[in-house]
């Protein structure tokens, strides 16, 4: 089993060490995992400051949010990865980034991530036209839900088409606060599946919303999962853990959902 999305930073305040990695690895072994993807978020690193300008400029709340998060340099993370590259772990350990895709500054993102060696870079849509839709439930008041879904998937398709990413993180995270569109997304899922395959990208089957938002649904919704399986999209199970002890959370359940009549990659 694989856990393809585990955050390092919030557990260690930016201090990298072999002991820290071992804490994730030993928890992964307890959970029966054979492979883990450890990552950091682009918004943690001041090298990406310019890329987040549209997000900062959106409102005061987002400016404060970003300044609280952007406290480290990517240099120490990249240097640590280089230092331990080639170390033997009892399971396969990959190091990468979760990168926000912000259409206006996508080329800036690309220019920074290309400067370092990553095992993977997973792309995320966390902002719809610079609005951070997954921050607080109250921010959805007065929002046109159909319009938000429409733009969310437009941005995701654009993200996939850039060819910059290894995978798409939590591809239906717009459901985070329980808002759903009035229209069918079947055609959108087909377009996403075709684009993911063309770009050679995987999609995460992520338990992150169940773990971090208390959402009732584990993994991507059943319609999306059905379409992605039918189209043979590569799907990786992912916890979106933010602490070592959450490594592998929900992965057994998510893996079982993939086994039901579809392709499985592990």
Considering beta carbons, is residue 98 or 172 the nearer one to Zn ion? 98
Q: How far is the CB of 135 from Zn ion (least distance, A)?
A: 12
Q: How far is the CB of 52 from Zn ion (least distance, A)?
A: 14
Considering beta carbons, is residue 56 or 240 the nearer one to Zn ion? 240
Report the residue number whose CB is nearest to Zn ion: 124
Q: How far is the CB of 191 from Zn ion (least distance, A)?
A: 21
Q: How far is the CB of 43 from Zn ion (least distance, A)?
A: 10
Q: How far is the CB of 260 from Zn ion (least distance, A)?
A: 25
Q: Where are the alpha helices (DSSP H) in the chain?
A: 18-30, 53-56, 60-69, 74-84, 106-113, 145-161, 186-199, 208-213, 222-230, 251-259
Cα separation of 233 and 195, whole Å? 10
The secondary structure of residue 247, as a DSSP letter, is T
**Site residues for Zn ion per CB under 5 A:** 98, 124, 240
Considering beta carbons, is residue 171 or 181 the nearer one to Zn ion? 171
CB 164 within 8 A of CB 113: yes
Considering beta carbons, is residue 39 or 185 the nearer one to Zn ion? 39
Considering beta carbons, is residue 98 or 249 the nearer one to Zn ion? 98
Give me the torsion for CA of 8, 70, 42, 248, rounded to 10°.
Answer: 20
Considering beta carbons, is residue 69 or 226 the nearer one to Zn ion? 69
Considering beta carbons, is residue 177 or 231 the nearer one to Zn ion? 177
Q: How far is the CB of 77 from Zn ion (least distance, A)?
A: 15
CB 237 within 8 A of CB 4: yes
SS3 40: strand
From the number of C-beta atoms within 10 Å of its C-beta (0-12, 13-18, 19+), residue 53 rates as middle
Q: Is 13 left (phi over 0), alpha (psi -120 to 50) or beta?
A: left
Q: How far is the CB of 174 from Zn ion (least distance, A)?
A: 12
From the number of C-beta atoms within 10 Å of its C-beta (0-12, 13-18, 19+), residue 242 rates as middle
Place of tokens 């719809």: 128
């Amino acid at each position: 089993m694989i856990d393809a999305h585990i955050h390092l930073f919030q557990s260690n305040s930016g201090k990298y060490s072999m002991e820290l990695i071992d804490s994730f690895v030993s928890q992964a072994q307890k959970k029966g995992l054979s492979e883990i993807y450890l990552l950091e978020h682009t918004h943690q690193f001041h090298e990406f400051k310019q890329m987040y300008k549209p997000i900062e400029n959106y409102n005061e709340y987002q400016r404060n949010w970003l300044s609280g998060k952007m406290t480290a340099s990517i240099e120490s993370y990249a240097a640590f990865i280089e230092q331990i590259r080639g170390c033997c772990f009892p399971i396969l350990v990959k190091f990468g980034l979760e990168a926000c895709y912000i259409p206006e500054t996508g080329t800036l993102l690309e220019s920074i991530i290309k400067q370092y060696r990553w095992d993977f870079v997973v792309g995320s849509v966390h902002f719809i036209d610079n609005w951070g839709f997954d921050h607080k439930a109250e921010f959805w008041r007065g929002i046109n839900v159909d319009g938000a879904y429409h733009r969310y998937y437009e941005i995701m398709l654009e993200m996939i088409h850039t060819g910059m990413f290894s995978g798409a993180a939590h591809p239906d995270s717009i459901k985070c606060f329980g808002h759903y569109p009035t229209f069918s997304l079947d055609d959108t899922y087909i377009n996403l599946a075709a684009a993911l395959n063309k770009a050679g990208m995987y999609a995460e089957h992520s338990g992150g919303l169940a773990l971090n938002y208390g959402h009732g649904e584990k993994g991507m919704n059943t319609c999306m999962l059905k379409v992605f399986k039918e189209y043979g999209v590569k799907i990786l199970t992912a916890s979106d853990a933010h602490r070592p002890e959450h490594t592998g959370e929900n992965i057994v359940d998510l893996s079982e959902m993939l086994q039901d009549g579809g392709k499985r990659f592990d």
